[in-house]
Amino acid sequence: MTTSTPIVAGRSCGTCTLCCRLPEIDEFDKPADAWCKHCVAGQGCSIYAARPSVCRDFLCLWMTREDLGAEWEPARSHLMIYGQGPQITVLADPDQPDLWRREPYHGQLKAWAGEMAPAGGYVIVFWRDEVHKI
C-alpha cells in the first residue's frame, strides 16, 4: 500500500506504532515483532521527516478503506492489515494471543478470503512464528 492511495477523511495514525513493531524492516535490520530503534513509545517515529521510503510509502488498510469500522483501528484491534499482491496480509500483535480468531475479526477475514479466492487471492495471518492461510 502506498501513499498514492487516499487516506480516509478523519483518520490518522495517532499514537499507533504497530507498523514500527510488527513487520520486518530490512533497511533497519529489524526483525518482525521487535520494536524499531527509531520508535518512541506513544509518539511514533523519531526520524519521521527522514524515514526511508518503505516506511514513508506504507499505509495500512484501516487508513485507506472506508468500509473498515473503528473496531479495525490497529491501536484497538492489535492487527495491522495491508494488501500485498493477490492477498491481504494480517500481522497480529504477539502480545494478543488469538485475537484475530475472535469476532468481529475472524468472520471478516474469512469473508475476504472467500471473496478473493476465485481470483487466486487469500488472507494470510502472521502471529509470532505461526502463519495461517485463510
Average the pLDDT over 27-41 and give the result. Answer: 93
* 4 assigned to some structural domain: no
* pLDDT tens digits, 36-87: 999 998 788 999 899 999 998 999 999 999 999 999 999 999 999 999 889 9
* 2 assigned to some structural domain: no
Residue 66 contacts residue 73 (beta carbons within 8 Å): no
Residues spanned by the domain of 110:
60-128
- What gap in Å lies between CA 80 and CA 64, rounded to an integer? 12
Band of the pLDDT at 4, cuts 50, 70, 90? Answer: low
Average the pLDDT over 111-131 and give the result. Answer: 96
CA dihedral 29, 46, 35, 60 (to 10 degrees): -90
Into how many domains does the chain fold? 2
* pLDDT tens digits, 5-15: 799 999 988 88
Q: Which of 83-87, 109-113, 124-128 has the lowest mean pLDDT?
A: 83-87
* 101: its cell numbers: 480468531
Backbone angles phi, psi at 70, to 5 degrees: -60, -30
Do both 66 and 115 map to the same domain?
yes
Do both 118 and 78 map to the same domain?
yes
Is this structure's pTM higher than 0.85?
Answer: yes
Do both 40 and 66 map to the same domain?
no
